[in-house]
Homo-oligomer: A and B are copies of this chain.
């Protein structure tokens, strides 16, 4: 951390800054320049996060230099990680397709969707049992019954399951059925939930908040890691923007940026970003071309009667194009498609 003093700061202001840092357990190094005096700080993360030197008189600016996340940072872990979900890898060297219905509605719909996923080359099945919905009047998901349907479909198809958990009190039951727990966009900073999934022995997919900065997102991952769970995959799913024609704006820059800042894998969800079917495959291609380790898409046997997000679900007609997008983008970026688990 570097503290820049203002030109009119006096010696007593400087002394107070230094004593503040030392009282907190850090070390202060003063450099007197011609125009400005600068104080370098060396200290542990707890000290740096809790310093309130911005509030002191004579302080013009405070600049962080080291990353405020430690366990997930690439600074201290130069090799990018591979996370395994029921044996399926997500990480460097492979491209993984995760597909399935937005919401689990019936055993038949879920099984049909899983078969569609396999047809497109997916090796993991997504499907929501607990659904976070903007309106209290909208379908909220089947809950535990949905988890049971997913378990049955896994038994039948062999596909490991990714499903969302919305509440700390549901973590145990979701973990008992799922192979990977998803934290949704709206819960990216639900810290109790992050700590709960940090204490469970299953991989976690952490979706980016609607306008979370990279740093805030990585700090949320650090909450999970701090509890001992480092099997975390980050998911870019579009950010809120000023553009009314699209639901969210897929931020493909997040892919190379996160890969340079953290050793954790990053994937993209073009379906929730776009909110409309015709954009899903171009955005899936774009995300994979930027280097995403996996892509997650919604599909549905009968989108017109879906209980959630029908307009964005791919149909049977689009499965060959999806399969081809994954295959060609993997090849064009020197990677292989993660092998589907045999049914």
**Residues of chain A whose beta carbon lies under 8 Å from any beta carbon of chain B:** 2, 4, 16, 20, 27, 29, 31, 33-36, 38, 40, 42, 45-46, 48-50, 52, 54-56, 60-61, 63, 65-66, 68, 132-139, 166-169, 186-192, 209-211, 213-216, 219, 222-223, 226, 239-246, 249-253, 255-257, 260, 273-274, 277-279, 282-283, 285-291, 303-308, 310-311, 313, 328-329, 331-333
Contact = CB atoms under 8 A, between A and B. Distances in A.
Contacts of A246: 253, 257
A327 to B, nearest CB: 9
A191 B132 contact: yes
List of 3 A-B pairs having minimum Cβ-Cβ separation, nearest first: A31-B31, A289-B289, A55-B310
Contact of A4 (B27, B63, B242, B243): B63
Contacts of A260: 278
A228 to B, nearest CB: 12
A49 B286 contact: no
26 contacts: A29-B33, A31-B38, A45-B137, A50-B137, A50-B139, A52-B303, A52-B307, A54-B310, A60-B65, A132-B191, A166-B191, A186-B188, A187-B190, A211-B242, A213-B243, A213-B245, A242-B242, A246-B253, A246-B257, A249-B249, A253-B274, A285-B289, A285-B290, A285-B332, A328-B332, A329-B332
Nearest to A277: B55
Copies in the complex: 4
Nearest to A51: B310
A222 B137 CA distance: 9
B285 A52 contact: no
Interface of A is mostly: mixed
A280 to B, nearest CB: 10
Output the residue of A189, A214, A331 with the most chain B CB within 10 A.
A189
B257 A289 contact: no
Contacts of A29: 33-34
Contact of A253 (B42, B273, B291, B303): B273
A240 to B, nearest CB: 5
Contact of A136 (B42, B213, B223, B328): B223
Contacts of A211: 210-211, 240, 242
A137 B240 contact: no
A40 B31 CA distance: 10
A242 B248 CA distance: 10
Contact of A286 (B168, B244, B287): B287
Nearest to A29: B33
A290 B273 CA distance: 14
A132 B219 CA distance: 12
B213 A311 contact: no
A55 B313 contact: yes
A65 B36 contact: yes
Given A134-B219, A135-B219, A52 B306 contact: yes
